[in-house]
Structure 1
Amino acid sequence: MEIICYLSNGYPTIESSYEMAIEYADAGCTMIEIDFPSRDPYLEGEYIAGRMAKALEACDDYDKYMESMVAVKKRLPDIKLLVLAYENTVEEIGTERFISFCLENDFKDILLVGLKDNRIKDQIIAAGLRVSCYVQYQMLPEEIEMAKQSNGFVYMQAKPTKEVNPQYPDLKSCIAHLRACGIERPIYCGVGVHAPEDVRMVKEAGGDAAFVGSTILKLHEDIPAMKEMIKKFAEQC
């Protein structure tokens, strides 16, 4: 069981996000979700979308973001990096070029969001990369079926934001059902993980990792406090 800290690549500058990755690792984070800021992050809340916009104001050259990601990987070879990219960003970079970049630098785990259809996703999977799939707490049959057919980790909603499926009233029963469906790939839980006790809840439910987002991001101006919070989250693993 591990925690996954979110890194706003390029916010407020590419150099500062590179340094933040080092701080994450020093605090005990062993997995980092690193993004390509999107020009149209329509699935994000105002907070993350605002950070992406600021990053692109400072640098709108995706080549520079790629260089930074490679630099992070070289500096932190023991940290597992998960790459978040909107489909519109992949299209702007060029699907073939995006795939080549990920393969050449061993970025094998992709969170591909904002899909219009499955064309680009299928192309990325066919190239040998792993694409995650999202399963909401409602445990919708179509999402479970997509999870069964996917080749990447399952991103399981950690806490409900809508009505709960009475067949699976808690996270533990949700994860147990995914396992019963034959899913053996990692199940990482996120959305609603704001405190150390939430990480403990994910662990007790059988999750393989917990995404920790805004709680850490909002402490970026106070590095000692941020690192102390990461340690508290990590201790629950």
Structure 2
Amino acid sequence: MNTQLSGVLAAAKAADRAALIGYLPAGFPTIDGAAQAVQALIDGGADAVEIGLPHSDPVLDGPTIQTADDIALRNGVRTRDVLETVRQVTAANPTVPVLVMTYWNPVDRYGAARFAADLAAAGGAGCILPDLPVEEAGPWLAAAEELGLATVFVVAPSSRDQRLATITASGTGFVYAAAVMGVTGSRNQVGEMAEDLVRRTRATTDLPVCVGLGVSTAAQAAEVAAFADGVIVGSAFVQRILDAASPEAGYAAVRELAAELAEGVRKR
């Protein structure tokens, strides 16, 4: 259990609002500029942030994040760069939880215990592991628990109640509820299945349930905040950087959107 992450989510709940969790991949728009991009999320009002570990086959990510991952990989990003970005962000923002969002393969190749140790040393709050089956997570969970790292698993609308209970029993920090079936990306409407998924997930756990996949506007953030403990936004931030004329303009656009979304989660 990561007390920093739990504290931030509890503080948002005590203020009768949802937390805003922003995502951007490491190495994007540049290796050196990634920390600045994440800083823009925080400056705009994100309560916690996720830093993505770019992957060559991001099967759960839509075209927007795939594009950003491709840019990051062409920039030469490595796992050590992801950890360095975490270190820079946590050093500048010691009260903001920083998680790494990653597919399991890069962690497995790096070494689960080594990755956990290096993430903790960098000040990270934990990991979101969307494709790691809980039945195979024992070595990671042991290392993470020893180091006080949160392990966040993903549930989907297709998850049956018994499966939800199995997943939530193994996770810590919060549960990541995928609002829609399919890959990540901004949508005109957030999934109607999201509220039902949150209700069913809460029936199995006392962990906060945070919803991601599809939120891109303050109105959508407010809609999700009405029934979720946290609102997770990624693709919309990535798109702002992709659309910008320069990295600096991208950071400003990210900061602006984060401020709008932070206002949205306060209108639950």
Preserved CA contact (<8 Å) 2:20 2:45: no
- Which one of the candidate residues 49, 66, 70 is aligned to 1:32? 49
Identical pairs, percent: 25
Letter in 1 for 2:257: M
Decide which of 168, 171, 179 is 2:202's aligned counterpart.
179
Structure 1 gaps, min length 5: 162-168
State the TM-score, normalized to the length of structure 1: 0.85
> What is residue 164 of structure 1 aligned with on the other side?
none
Partner of 1:211: 232
Match of residue 214 from structure 2: 192
Is 1:45 aligned with 2:73?
no
Counterpart in the other structure of 2:8: none
In the alignment, the residues of structure 1 paired with residue 134 and residue 22 of structure 2 have an alpha-carbon distance, to the nearest angstrom, of 28
Deviation at 1:160, TM superposition (A): 5.7
TM-fit CA distance, 1:159: 4.2
Output the CA distance in 1 between the equivalents of 2:93 and 2:151: 23
Structure 2 CA distance for aligned equivalents of residues 191 and 53 of structure 1: 20
Cα 1:143–1:201 shift into 2, 3 Å: farther
Residue from 105, 110, 132 that aligns with 2:122: 105
Q: What amino acid sits opposite 1:184 in the alignment?
A: D
TM-score scaled by structure 2?
0.76
How do residues 107-146 of structure 1 correspond to structure 2 at under 5 angstroms? 107-115=124-132, 118-119=135-136, 121-127=137-143, 128=145, 129-146=149-166
Distance in structure 2 (CA, Å) of the matches to 1:117 and 1:188: 19
Match of 1:157 in 2: 178
Cα 1:52/1:142, change in 2 over 3 Å: farther
Shift, 1:8, TM fit: 1.4
Provide, for residues 125-175 of structure 1, a one-character-per-residue CA deviation record: whole Å limited to 9, x for no partner: 1121332222212442343122332222211123466xxxxxxx7544432
CA distance in structure 2 between the aligned counterparts of 1:215 and 1:148, rounded to whole angstroms: 27
Residue of structure 1 in register with 2:254 after alignment: 226
Matches of 2:166 and 2:238 in 1, distance apart? 31
Q: Which amino acid aligns with 2:255?
A: K
Equivalent position amino acid for 1:201 in 2: E
RMSD (CA atoms): 2.2
Structure 2 gaps, min length 5: 1-17, 183-191
